[in-house]
Amino acid sequence: MGTRNTRDAIVEAALDLFNKDTVAAVSTNHIAREIGISPGNLYYHYRNKEEIVRAVFDRMVGDWDTVWQLPPGRAPTASDLARTLERTFELHWRYRFFQRELLALLTRDPQLRDRYRAVYRQRLEEFTVFAESLAAAGVIRSSIESWFTGLLEGLWIIGEHWMGHLEIVGDPSDPAQVRRGIQVIVAVLDPHLSDEFFADHSQEGPNP
């Protein structure tokens, strides 16, 4: 494998193992064995597990980058909102280890926490622009008032802590339960959604 491919394979294998077990339970040896390279070769690419966790985090950030972006050159529609929610919970599932261990990971690694906070601020801005555009396009009903920020922060918390919630009172290894997070988001959004949304996407609604 070339350097690039080996780095990718390490990140991919680490993500897979972290999801299956916990970050604490996965060693660098474990990751090396998974892709059939020597521990020495792994250490050539990443000095320790923290660096691998950060690399997985960076890949996650990259995968999220386009999710809350507006469609280029046209107003967003009810379908855009539905698809964006779908993609959101697909990524929550794909990187489920991260939400599950959110607090512990960020507490252990201040460098990771700083990156996370920067991404949080950026996402909340994108999130706000997206919601404002939906309101302007009549997909959601609310006018933009000052409590809108509170609503968006509430929706962020539900999304970001859904896996933690399932960890405690449900089953975070069941994709159907992970997907049910969409219904909770739609239930919170319900009074703000236009009839258009429910006409086009009744299957996304809380009464599937």
Q: Which is nearer to a copy of itself, 169 or 199 (CB)?
A: 169
Q: Smallest distance, Å, CB 78 to a copy of itself?
A: 17
CB of 135 to a copy of itself, least distance (A): 13
Residues that bind a copy of itself (CB under 8 A): 100-104, 106-107, 113, 116-117, 120, 142, 146-151, 153-154, 157-158, 160-162, 164-165, 167-169, 183-188, 190-192, 205-207
Q: Which is nearer to a copy of itself, 154 or 175 (CB)?
A: 154
Cβ distance to a copy of itself smaller for residue 91 or 158: 158
| Shortest distance (Å) from residue 151 CB to a copy of itself | 5
Asked whether the CA dihedral 155, 156, 159, 162 is positive or negative, the reply is: negative
HSE (side-chain half, CA atoms, 13 Å) at 32: 16
DSSP code, position 173:
T
- Nearest approach, Cβ of residue 7 and a copy of itself (Å): 28
Q: Which is nearer to a copy of itself, 150 or 175 (CB)?
A: 150
Q: How far is the CB of 199 from a copy of itself (least distance, A)?
A: 16
Place of tokens 């959004």: 189
How many angstroms from the chain centroid is the CA of residue 85? Answer: 10
CB closer to a copy of itself, 7 vs 151: 151
The answer to whether the CB of 138 falls within 8 A of the CB of 196 is yes
Spatial CA neighbour of 184 closest among 94, 95, 101, 88: 88
The conformation of residue 193, written as its DSSP 8-state character, comes to B
Q: How many helices (H) and strands (E) does the chain have?
A: 11, 0
